[in-house]
Structure 1
Amino acid sequence: MLEVKLHDIGEGMTEGEVIHYFVKVGDSVSIDQPLVEVQTDKMVAELTSPCSGIVKQIVIEPGETVQVGTSLIYIEAAGAVKSQQKSQPESKQTVKKQVTPSVQAEKSSQPIFSRVLAAPYTRKIARDNNINLEDVHATDPSGRVTEEDVYRFLKGQQTSEESVQVAPQVAITKEIPDEIPFKGIRKKIAEKMTKSLFTIPHVTHFDEVDMTNLFKLREQLKASGESVGVSAFLIKALVISLKDFPIFNAELDEENSRILLKRNYHIGLATNTDSGLIVPVLHDADKKSIKDIHKEVKGLTERAIAGKLQPFEMQNSTFTVSNVGPLGSTGATPIINYPETALIAFHKTKKRPIVNDHDEIVIGHIMTLSMAFDHRVADGATAVAFTNRFASLIEHPHKLMMEMI
């Protein structure tokens, strides 16, 4: 009998809520067939079958929250009984195949089943398009099949747009509930924000940035056929500023009485979703062009909103950005994404009369920002110097270009 357990499918997750099962006791299942849907603190994920066989027992009821390592389902693997009957007690067979972390065999004599390495969402894409993952070439050096590999395989199979099936749209009538469950992502956000606020002595610094010249540059680029979002420029300027002020790309290690200055620049992107605040991570932002940053930020944001982020896309941020200007925000005192040292929020950009370098009153585009920082690690004067450096790069885009040469 094979034991399917809840394993860590997120960033150090410790528990998950069983949403519903795709199978029932007595059902025949095939390898990679969805068994159960689980809600973690960051995503909804499907656990799939590691083998073909029969569902013998479902242990946990839907709606229950269980710890990682808890047994969920028992499966009698196809051929297991037969192979045991044929095997002699004194004979030993060694099978060199991979075992998924969610499965544990009760007897060492049972056959071990091989499985293609792929994330749950990648498996779902393959199932929805009737693709056998064993037929898909993995481009990742680790041998893991990615969603890009599946899409590439699918594109090679399709001969026309008619081969793509579109699910019918169904009208949904929403009812406003009397209460909302406090669990899953929302509960995890609450726990993390509480820990941050009661651990870190927050200080918030407010500033203004003149976006006029940057907007002009964007219009020039757009006219030449290059459309890049404002966020990409802001992130690039932030990374340059963080290199000049590494204290804000750091983490306080109180236990060992040291401040860890991070050499990687992994920018967290606070994103509002229906499930709550999600923070996908733009890894190695310092090594990417503005155009690449624009493309990756767009993709990460879209996957966050759709609930399709992979675990590695939410890990190891060193500094977080919250772009709430498009929502209409004019100011806030943001809470730091623990255990980081600082977080910057970009607010609404407004047209205002300003005095330019020639002492002329003109209309400018002024964006407000708020920067929360850990006062144990940095001081107010350093925060002001940091935002001044950032503002200088944005207000004079040629300086930003010079820093990338």
Structure 2
Amino acid sequence: MVEVKVPELAESITEGTIAKWLKNVGEKVNKGDDIVELETDKVNVQIAAEDEGVLTEIKKGEGDTVEVGEVIAVLDPNAAPGEAPKAAPEAKKEEAQPEAQAPKAEAPAAAEAAESHERLVATPAARKLARELGIDLKTVAASDPLGRIRPEDVKREATKPAASQAQPAASATAPKATENPAKPVERVRMTRRRQTIATRLVEAQHTAAMLTTFNEVDMTAIMDVRARRKDAFMKKHDVKLGFMSFFTKAVVGALKEFPLLNAEIQGTDLLIKKFYDIGIAVSTDEGLVVPVVRDADRKTFAEIERDIADLAVKARSGKLTLADLQGGTFTITNGGTFGSLISTPILNAPQVGILGMHKIQYRPVAIDKETMEIRPMMYLALSYDHRIVDGKEAVSFLVKVKELLEDPESLLLEG
């Protein structure tokens, strides 16, 4: 028998959730075949078989949380395809036990407790220690700003007086509020990625002195360039000339003039980056992800547009890798694609700047004291970390972005 284990994924990822089994029990598996899809905090990862054989046992069902190194399935090199497994899958037996061992009236409460436990975020070491000490992780308060329970949190809970540990248990037995049939609700468990997004957005607001400054840009010149060049650009490069390449180039040009927007805080030091890896926020069904366009300062408009298009396709098809998401120095997000007129984007920590694009709207604009024209205008928003970026620098950065966008030819020189 060959055990299928959760492989090492990345330094910061120690566990994941079984999203989907790609092979069924009794099915032949060849070496290199993808057999299961694992949802992690950042991306979905497909685990490939390192050996071949027939899948005879699935130990963890879809929705189960698994740790790196944990056995999730068994392959039999000597079994014939379609051969019935010697024992029922462990995950299915566990699902059947509550019904067989407990009264039906207690089943909903048991299911609710199990669901609550699965939502907990704890390190593998903390889970192991909790099992050894008989500590219910639901009673442990996390000191980690990300909400992850660590071993020291479990030890602290174990040293509490018995009375304080008993109190949560007593309250847990209190009768549950009766749901009103006239007010129907639907309870949907958050995906692991949505939980991570929620945690990191709150962390960004708690750890950074975040402010937002606004400006507006006249899109006339860019729209004129696109109208004149889009067909030739498409014919030559086989990719559309969009707005994102202009904004990426403008951001790079402004970052070169105001480098603190391309930095991050590490302890008491500033890490000022001399490279320009620009994150482009992409909306997917599972939530917002920010793949990174590498070395944007060295790329042409066509290369940037092609990178963005490829990353968007990978994001929406669940094919992004961890490498696609790591190491960005600054982020651009475009709420205008959904009709947003103005918003305040939240920092993508540990970055200290994020530019928000918005809907292009035709508005009357005063050209001078006597002339008014209808122009395509867009509001821009720059959120920044005031701990290292002063208001003057942030405002000047955004003005520089505006100037570069309103004079697209300058992007060839500045960007």
Normalised by the size of structure 1, how large is the TM-score? 0.70
1:198 is aligned with what amino acid?
H
Cα distance in 2 for partners of 1:343, 1:329 equals: 16
CA spacing shift, 1:21–1:304, aligned 2, 3 Å: closer
- Measured against aligned partners, the alpha-carbon deviations of 1:188-224 in whole angstroms (never above 9, x if no partner) come to 1111111111111110111111111111111121254
2:75 is aligned with what amino acid?
I
2:249 is aligned with what amino acid?
K
2:202 is aligned with what amino acid?
T
- Measured against aligned partners, the alpha-carbon deviations of 1:154-199 in whole angstroms (never above 9, x if no partner) come to xxxxxxxxxxxxxxxxxxxxxx982221132111111111111111
- C-alpha displacement of 1:281: 1.0
Runs of 4+ that moved beyond 6 A:
none
Aligned to 1:52: 52
Cα distance in 1 for partners of 2:302, 2:215 equals: 27
Instruction: State the SS of the aligned residue for 1:378.
Output: coil
Are 1:10 and 1:40, in contact at CA under 8 Å, matched by a contact in 2?
no
Equivalent of 2:252 in 239, 243, 259: 239
CA spacing shift, 1:4–1:386, aligned 2, 3 Å: same
Instruction: State the SS of the aligned residue for 1:338.
Output: coil
- C-alpha displacement of 1:17: 0.8
1:270 is aligned with what amino acid?
A
Instruction: State the SS of the aligned residue for 2:319.
Output: coil
Aligned to 2:380: 369
Equivalent of 1:184 in 164, 180, 192: 192
Cα distance in 1 for partners of 2:345, 2:233 equals: 36
- C-alpha displacement of 1:362: 1.6
Would you tell me which structure has more helix in proportion to its own residues? 2
- C-alpha displacement of 1:54: 4.0
Aligned to 1:134: none
CA spacing shift, 1:223–1:25, aligned 2, 3 Å: closer
- C-alpha displacement of 1:68: 2.2
- Measured against aligned partners, the alpha-carbon deviations of 1:113-140 in whole angstroms (never above 9, x if no partner) come to xxxxxxxxxxxxxxxxxxxxxxxxxxxx
Instruction: State the SS of the aligned residue for 1:180.
Output: coil
2:405 is aligned with what amino acid?
I
1:285 is aligned with what amino acid?
A
Are 1:11 and 1:312, in contact at CA under 8 Å, matched by a contact in 2?
no
2:66 is aligned with what amino acid?
V
Cα distance in 2 for partners of 1:177, 1:50 equals: 44
| 1:194 corresponds to 2:202 | yes
| 1:206 corresponds to 2:217 | no
Cα distance in 1 for partners of 2:72, 2:341 equals: 47
CA spacing shift, 1:306–1:230, aligned 2, 3 Å: same
Aligned to 2:174: none
Mind listing any 5+ residue stretches in structure 1 that lack a counterpart?
Answer: 80-175
Aligned to 1:402: 413
Cα distance in 2 for partners of 1:224, 1:19 equals: 44
- C-alpha displacement of 1:286: 0.9
Aligned to 2:359: 348
CA spacing shift, 1:14–1:359, aligned 2, 3 Å: farther
Equivalent of 1:253 in 224, 244, 266: 266
Normalised by the size of structure 2, how large is the TM-score? 0.69
Aligned to 1:222: 230
**After the TM superposition, which residues 128-139 of structure 1 pair with which residues of structure 2 at under 5 Å, given as runs?**
none
Equivalent of 1:318 in 329, 335, 340: 329
Are 1:265 and 1:283, in contact at CA under 8 Å, matched by a contact in 2?
yes
- C-alpha displacement of 1:403: 2.7
Cα distance in 2 for partners of 1:264, 1:4 equals: 40
* Most deviating of 384-393 and 17-26: 17-26
Cα distance in 2 for partners of 1:357, 1:221 equals: 30
Aligned to 2:289: 278
CA spacing shift, 1:220–1:190, aligned 2, 3 Å: same
Mind listing any 5+ residue stretches in structure 2 that lack a counterpart?
Answer: 80-183, 235-239
| 1:296 corresponds to 2:296 | no
* Most deviating of 25-34 and 366-375: 25-34
CA spacing shift, 1:217–1:21, aligned 2, 3 Å: closer
2:7 is aligned with what amino acid?
H
- Measured against aligned partners, the alpha-carbon deviations of 1:302-339 in whole angstroms (never above 9, x if no partner) come to 22122121221111111111011121101112110011
Instruction: State the SS of the aligned residue for 2:360.
Output: strand
Equivalenced residues, count: 306
2:414 is aligned with what amino acid?
E
- C-alpha displacement of 1:387: 0.6
Instruction: State the SS of the aligned residue for 1:348.
Output: coil
